[in-house]
């Protein structure tokens, strides 16, 4: 390899954390047309064309949000009985049943159960499909995050958003097809939660910064005009074509060269999308922008709407941390109001724009919580521990079975007992709502065809409207 070639590659890979790197990763595998161009769904009649995935990292308590358990009122602070094997495995000593500190109310014609803190989401209750039968395998945050986001507890596999983009392609060649809107800190497990895994690099999630400019270097220096940039790109294109002629064996070289072109195009689209100042005051107020505690999540929900409006296939928003081991009343009592108003606004806004039918919204965390808690600091902590056997998920739009609650947990919320499915089946169902067949959405890697569900899964028909 010549020194000239090495410097070129080093330059491309060293584009940094700004606009250039976003464009670079979005187009690295553009030579694989299937990864970028719009493709036909396996099920053309599917309503959903986009997905907004609201991820409540840390594991929200189903018992204190959407799955009321009156039995816990009767058992409150009584010693929690477990098998001898489970007792011997516990290091915290005695454990006690803990009732929910919140009252529950039924809402809408569907009679959806919601705790009293969901003051805004309750107004769109009939647009929601609740699912109480999902189970996962891990009680560890990073591995549980990986399983929900990629299907593999150990990481390294493609995220759901990557699979969706692989299956459907992009609707907007000037924007990444999979965009992530994280909190200030990345979730446990880090960027592997939105990795492309073994799929083409163009399909990985592109995180936008939660504060300041969502993408660094989105604006060129003042002395650099669009004309200057265009001339520079044309000159570089000339040089790159010469290089490609000398090295025709480099299949991905053309895609790498186009990264500069995408960056140039993104400079015209991204500033308008991420700038929400052009939204009406009514819209900003509806999302809770410029007010606490909703400003942060409200801005990101509004941005998610704008992104899918521009053709982005998959947008994932993170809200953390719902890991409430102590004092559930204070913990969830402060978390729910931060997301309640923005999420309700997102649903209403999409509906008003005629976009809810084609946009699937998913709300979930990595697992649920236990009906009991141990003793900490000399008293019962009134919180909940991790529970992979029971959780609450809801969906809206995108052809889901709105206005219904599917599945059930036992009388104390410890375990799913009706319409029970592993999370892989939920993944398969999510793909089906987007018009994709998990068994056909495969990619050859390491000697075999691989898929999101790992080993195949079953569609949960009751979740589909």
Task: Measure the CA–CA gap between 239 and 245, rounded to whole angstroms.
Answer: 10
Give me the mean pLDDT over the 368-388 stretch.
88
pLDDT of residue 423: 98
Contact between 375 and 54 under an 8 Å Cβ cutoff? The reply is no
The helix (run of H) or strand (run of E) holding residue 363 is strand 359-364
Token representation of residue 120: 């805004």
pLDDT of residue 213: 61
**Tokens 């929601």 appear where?**
128
Beta bridge partners of 207: 180
Give the predicted TM-score (pTM) of the model.
0.84
In the chain, domain spans? 39-212+279-463
Alpha carbon of 254 to those of 19, 176, 197, 248: distances in Å?
Answer: 19, 18, 22, 10
Token representation of residue 341: 């108003």
Give me the mean pLDDT over the 283-310 stretch.
96
- Give residue-wise pLDDT tens across range 121-156: 999 999 999 999 999 999 999 999 999 999 999 989
The overall average pLDDT reported for the chain is 85
- Give residue-wise pLDDT tens across range 271-282: 677 788 889 999
Ramachandran area for residue 424 (φ above 0: left; ψ -120 to 50: alpha; else beta): alpha
Give me the mean pLDDT over the 26-54 stretch.
73
Task: Measure the CA–CA gap between 56 and 362, rounded to whole angstroms.
Answer: 10
Beta bridge partners of 107: 112
Contact between 340 and 119 under an 8 Å Cβ cutoff? The reply is yes
Q: Which residues make Cβ contacts (< 8 Å) with residue 193, sequence separation at least 6?
A: 145, 146, 149, 150, 159, 186, 187
pLDDT of residue 97: 94
pLDDT of residue 85: 41
Q: Please report the DSSP string for 394-457 in residue order.
A: EEESTTB-TTEEE-EE-TTSSSEEES-EEHHHHHHHHHHHTT--TTT--EEETTEEE-TTSS--
Range scoring the smallest mean pLDDT among 58-62, 203-207, 221-225, 309-313: 221-225
pLDDT of residue 89: 37
- Give residue-wise pLDDT tens across range 256-267: 565 555 555 556
**Choice between 163 and 259, residue whose per-residue pLDDT is larger:** 163
Contact between 276 and 303 under an 8 Å Cβ cutoff? The reply is yes
Give me the mean pLDDT over the 170-199 stretch.
92
Beta bridge partners of 56: 319
pLDDT of residue 90: 43
At 7, the pLDDT band (50, 70, 90 cuts) reads very low
Q: Using the predicted structure, report yes or no on whether residue 28 has a pLDDT greater than 70.
A: no
- Give residue-wise pLDDT tens across range 379-402: 778 999 999 999 999 999 999 999
Residue 423's closest CA among 380, 361, 362, 356?
A: 362
Range scoring the smallest mean pLDDT among 21-30, 58-67, 253-262, 296-305: 21-30
Contact between 407 and 423 under an 8 Å Cβ cutoff? The reply is no
The helix (run of H) or strand (run of E) holding residue 376 is strand 372-376
pLDDT of residue 53: 98
CATH class as words, domain 39-212+279-463: alpha beta
- Give residue-wise pLDDT tens across range 186-244: 999 999 999 999 998 889 998 987 666 666 555 566 666 667 666 766 777 777 777 77
């Amino acid at each position: 390899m010549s020194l000239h070639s090495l410097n070129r590659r080093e330059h491309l890979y060293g584009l940094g954390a700004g606009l250039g790197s976003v464009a670079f990763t979005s187009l690295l595998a553009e030579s694989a047309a299937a990864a970028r161009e719009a493709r036909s769904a396996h099920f053309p009649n599917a309503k959903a064309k986009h997905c907004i995935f609201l991820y409540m990292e840390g594991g929200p308590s189903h018992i204190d949000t959407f799955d009321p358990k009156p039995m816990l009122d009767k058992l409150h602070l009584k010693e929690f009985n477990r098998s001898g094997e489970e007792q011997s495995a516990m290091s915290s000593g005695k454990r006690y049943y803990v009732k929910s500190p919140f009252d529950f109310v039924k809402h809408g014609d569907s009679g959806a159960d919601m705790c009293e803190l969901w003051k805004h989401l309750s107004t769109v209750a009939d647009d929601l499909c609740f699912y109480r039968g999902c189970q996962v395998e891990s009680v560890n945050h990073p591995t549980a995050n990986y399983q929900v986001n990629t299907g593999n507890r150990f990481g390294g596999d493609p995220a759901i958003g990557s699979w969706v983009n692989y299956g459907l392609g992009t609707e907007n060649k000037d924007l990444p097809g999979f965009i992530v809107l994280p909190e200030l800190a990345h979730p446990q497990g880090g960027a592997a939660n939105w990795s492309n895994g073994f799929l083409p690099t163009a399909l990985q999630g592109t995180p936008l910064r939660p504060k300041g400019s969502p993408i660094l270097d989105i604006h060129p220096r003042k002395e650099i005009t669009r004309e200057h940039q265009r001339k520079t790109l044309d000159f570089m294109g000339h040089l790159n074509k010469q290089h490609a002629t000398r090295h025709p064996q480099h299949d991905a070289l053309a895609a790498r060269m186009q990264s500069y072109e995408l960056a140039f195009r993104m400079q015209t689209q991204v500033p308008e999308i991420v700038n929400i100042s052009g939204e009406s005051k009514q819209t900003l107020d509806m999302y809770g922008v410029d007010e606490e505690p909703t400003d942060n999540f409200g801005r990101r929900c509004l941005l998610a709407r704008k992104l899918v409006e521009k053709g982005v296939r998959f947008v994932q928003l993170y809200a953390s941390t719902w890991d409430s081991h102590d004092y559930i009343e204070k913990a969830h009592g402060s978390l729910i109001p931060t997301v309640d108003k923005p999420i309700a606004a997102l649903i209403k806004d999409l509906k008003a724009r005629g976009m809810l039918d084609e946009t699937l919204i998913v709300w979930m965390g990595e697992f649920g919580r236990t009906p009991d808690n141990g003793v900490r600091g000399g008293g019962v902590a009134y919180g909940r521990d991790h529970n992979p056997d029971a959780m609450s998920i809801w969906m809206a739009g995108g052809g889901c079975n709105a206005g219904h609650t599917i599945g059930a947990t036992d009388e104390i919320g410890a375990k799913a007992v009706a319409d029970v499915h592993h999370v892989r089946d939920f993944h398969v169902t999510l793909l089906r709502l987007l018009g994709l067949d998990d068994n056909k959405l495969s990619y050859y890697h390491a000697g075999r065809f691989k898929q999101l569900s790992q080993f195949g899964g079953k569609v949960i028909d009751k979740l589909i409207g």
